[in-house]
Amino acid sequence: MMQTKISRRVVVKGGLIATALVPAIRLMHNAALAASLTPLDPNDPTAKSLGFVTETAKVDASANPTHKPTQKCNTCAQYQGKVGDATAACNIFVGHSVPASGWCKVWAQKPGI
């Protein structure tokens, strides 16, 4: 029976390569995911029922008295983008992207911002 020895160097090298590739693969996956999303239409029935707007400055203050201008999608716990992303996925509106400057009634402060 043939026996193959794997050196510690080979194992460490493989681990380092895998560690380097995971973020790159994740970035490619996120870019592909973002490209497959369609921008959320404010006239979508669900979006409308949640008061979604593409610009937080356009929120109807009389209908949303607790809204503050600093509340935007990019500071919301449901926003899947990073700081600086113009648009990103939202956990509430699956399959759609929302603009960083948008807002809806589900807004809740993202922890750590």
Residue 37 or 52 with smaller CB distance to ligand SF4: 52
**Of residues 35, 52, 34, 56, the one with CA closest to residue 43:** 52
**Of residues 59, 111, 60, 82, the one with CA closest to residue 100:** 82
Residue 28 or 55 with smaller CB distance to ligand SF4: 55
Question: For ligand SF4, which residue of 59, 87, 90, 97 counts as binding (CB under 6 A)?
Answer: 90
Radius of gyration over every alpha carbon of the chain, rounded to an integer in angstroms: 21
Q: Nearest approach, Cβ of 80 to ligand SF4 (angstroms)?
A: 8
Q: Nearest approach, Cβ of 66 to ligand SF4 (angstroms)?
A: 13
Question: For ligand SF4, which residue of 54, 79, 87, 97 counts as binding (CB under 6 A)?
Answer: 79
Pattern of binders to ligand SF4 over 3-42, x per CB under 6 A?
Answer: ----------------------------------------
53: contact with ligand SF4 by CB under 6 A: no
3-state secondary structure labels for all residues of 25-85: HHHHHHHHHHHHCEECCCCCHHHHHCCCECCHHHCCCCCCCCCCCCCCHHHECCECCCCCC
Q: What CA–CA distance (Å, rounded) separates 61 from 67? A: 7
Binding stretches for ligand SF4 (CB under 6 A): 52, 73, 76, 78-79, 90, 92, 98, 102-104, 106-107
